[in-house]
Amino acid sequence: MPHPRAMGRRLTIIGESFFLWRDSFFVCLCADLMLCILLHYFTRRYLLVKAFRACGRLIFLSGKGRDYMKKMRKWEKKLTMQVMAALLAGAAMGTTAFAAEAENSNAADTAVDVYELEDTVVTAERMPTKKLETPANTAVITAKEIEDNHYQSVDEAIGHVNGVSIVRMAGGLRSYVRINGDERVVLLVDGQKLNDAQGGFGRASVDLNMIPSMDNIQRIEVVKGGGSALYGSDAVGGVINIITKNAVKNETKVDINIGSWGSHNYAISTQGKENDFSWFITGGLQKRGHFDYKFDGNSPTMANSDYNNNSFSMKLKNRLSDSDSLALSYAHRSVDDGQYECYGSFSQPNYYGLRLRENFNNYNLTWNFNEDTDVPGYVRFFYNYKWIDQSGSFSNRTMGLDAQYGWLLNDYNTLITGVEWHQSNSENATNGYYGKKLNNKSVFLQDTWKFADKWTLVPGIRMDNHSMFGTHWSPKIAINYLADADTQVYASWGRVFKAPTADDLYYNSYGYVGNPNLKPETGYTATVGMNHNFDEKTSMGISFFYSRLKDAIQWMNLPSGTIWEATNVDEEKHRGMELSFKQELSPMWSYDLGYSYIKREKTFRGSPMAVDSGNLQPNGYRIGVHYHSGAWKANLLGTIGSGLDAQYYNNNSSYNIWDFNLSYDIKKNITTYFKVNNLTNQEHFEQKGSLASAWGPASYYPCAGRFYQVGLTCTF
């Protein structure tokens, strides 16, 4: 692997070439976009022509990348052999420069800290806005929370967010998220979409555990409610944006832990800076044996539930000026995960295949400009590769080109616009298809208008042109009322849509067939809420949401009883509310409480609305108690669910899961910690089971029982 300093010089050369065409490119591009919106009312055909012209100015940039893509797969094996060398090199560089770390912080790093202190979010409006001035239901998990709780994965971290539920698959290394009861959720890393068009579990299209490391996460932003106007297909339930760290000092961190069922995890991260060039590199190994689970008072061992997970990530960044930078990112994850069937106290390897093997490689090259301003912009090229071997192998390659630009028009109007071009190539030859390409071109425009002293109006619109389903418009309107410095009232409404996945359209295997005649899922979502800070230590929030989808897609059992087919159901509705409360009792003690109510209904072929039995949290409760004194930290986290359809969960209509962690700072740079997940060894389920039938006995998907973990982190 080239020396990081040499990589920095190469990035600088590329970045300087970008400067030569930036101004003229964006003037022409944004003029086209504005003209597209204005001329929509006269002719749709002209709009499409102009939108494609705008996208074309971006697509030409990928011409040299075609040869690169052909070589990409050959590089993957070579790069995997080099990752540990990169980690060791980075660690050595970090150690020699450790004494100078305090002097190397720049304005960009300071700006990030300011955003943290001012409680700023960037995902809801695609630009920095203070939380109380953002008309959306948002939640933020900071790097400090991740570190204090020693979260090992993204699903563990966001599983404690009010209104969010996690569905874990196989041995535990695949997980999907539901927000407001909906699995149609967009997952972003630094604003780049990770969802692919192949499909996944249910309506989900991305695995949360694609994220290779928790060490390089600066914050996780969760936006609840529809976001299609800014993020397109999949953004029905909400958006999750994982914002990664920029290197702020020369430092290396090692985390080692062991736990129940023979688990042992090793993680290393190294970051450093040299002049305008910085790097952040992580690597990890995870291994666990077969887990125990609680069922009818017994604690049997789940067959074939062990896993191995290897991961690596790299972020190289070269600052070109005070407001411009070029960043190259790479993320890799390889998994060997068990699969199983459970019939209560009896379990066996899953008949689909003894093992689940996955390989993810994601590449990203981004030019950021106007950084650390109110209107950040970027041009990004990305390539994501996914390969999975289950009962047969299938893969997906997604590549794309994105751009965003913004203007402060005056003291009251901020305009954000952008274009995107994504191409997905899916293969699932074992199940009937290969070489299926799905393309999507899109353009979006949003204005944040402070039309009165306390009022802000946020209209927006997005046009998506799908290669199979044509043009879809996703308008939105949101309004925010800042009653005073501590009280916010907001409301939002927006159209949403989700295109069928490749599996929905083309899957063809024993017992399951896709449907090429499917329609896209379309509808709208609405949210109303309020947030209030009683003082600096006490706050509360309440929100209500409603979503309605037409032509929602479900896999339905055909009248023959032997075939399941992807089908557009007549309608799907989600409605509910959230209530949250936080208080700091003293410098040592604090707590937070949350309640959520979610009702999911659907109808099919004119039948009456029926409650969805797969709802994992009709009533959800969150409890967190936090203690911090000197070198000691302790956290008790509770997740409670009630109102489940008991027949699908082994006669359990409720569950309560408690997690506990305790840490002690031996020295400033050495910390030891102890964790217990499922403290009371509760029997619970994160997936809907199946009832007994002619096909076989009732089957369930129980979660792991009590799990202990002890670890040590060292920073140098």
Q: Return d(Cα 422, Cα 475) in angstroms, integer.
A: 21
Q: Return d(Cα 474, Cα 120) in angstroms, integer.
A: 26
Provide the pLDDT for residue 79: 41
The CA-based angle 395-399-403, given to 5 degrees, is 155
Measuring CA to CA, how many Å separate 13 from each of 221, 272, 318, 541, 631?
33, 21, 10, 48, 47
Q: Which residues, other chains included, contact 6 with Cβ-Cβ below 8 Å and sequence gap of 6+?
A: none
Which amino acid, one-letter code, is at 469?
A: F
Structural fold of domain 20-715:
Maltoporin; Chain A (2.40.170)
Q: Which residues, other chains included, contact 579 with Cβ-Cβ below 8 Å and sequence gap of 6+?
A: 540, 541, 542, 594, 595, 596
Measuring CA to CA, how many Å separate 269 from each of 180, 254, 317, 510, 675?
34, 7, 16, 45, 21
Provide the pLDDT for residue 296: 86
Q: Return d(Cα 22, Cα 61) in angstroms, integer.
A: 12
Question: 230-264 in b/e burial notation, b at 16+ Cβ within 10 A?
Answer: bbbbbbbbbbbbbbbbbbbbbbbbebebebbbebe
pLDDT along the chain (716 residues), means of 10: 44 41 39 37 33 35 39 43 43 41 40 49 92 95 95 93 86 82 93 85 80 91 94 92 93 97 96 95 95 89 89 96 96 88 67 73 96 94 91 86 95 95 88 85 96 96 95 96 96 94 86 90 96 96 96 82 84 96 97 97 84 91 97 97 92 94 96 97 88 78 93 96
Provide the pLDDT for residue 171: 61
Provide the pLDDT for residue 54: 34
Q: Are 430 and 393 in contact (CB under 8 A)?
A: yes
Provide the pLDDT for residue 120: 86
Q: Are 623 and 588 in contact (CB under 8 A)?
A: no
Measuring CA to CA, how many Å separate 171 from each of 294, 349, 395, 477?
15, 11, 21, 42
Q: Return d(Cα 361, Cα 333) in angstroms, integer.
A: 7
Provide the pLDDT for residue 356: 81
3-state secondary structure of 245: coil
Measuring CA to CA, how many Å separate 661 from each of 154, 584, 625, 675?
17, 19, 11, 4
Q: Which two tokens stand for residue 372?
A: 């650390």
**CB atoms inside a 10 Å sphere around CB 672:** 15
Provide the pLDDT for residue 348: 64
Q: Which two tokens stand for residue 413?
A: 């109007």
Q: Return d(Cα 655, Cα 687) in angstroms, integer.
A: 13
Q: Which two tokens stand for residue 21?
A: 């065409």
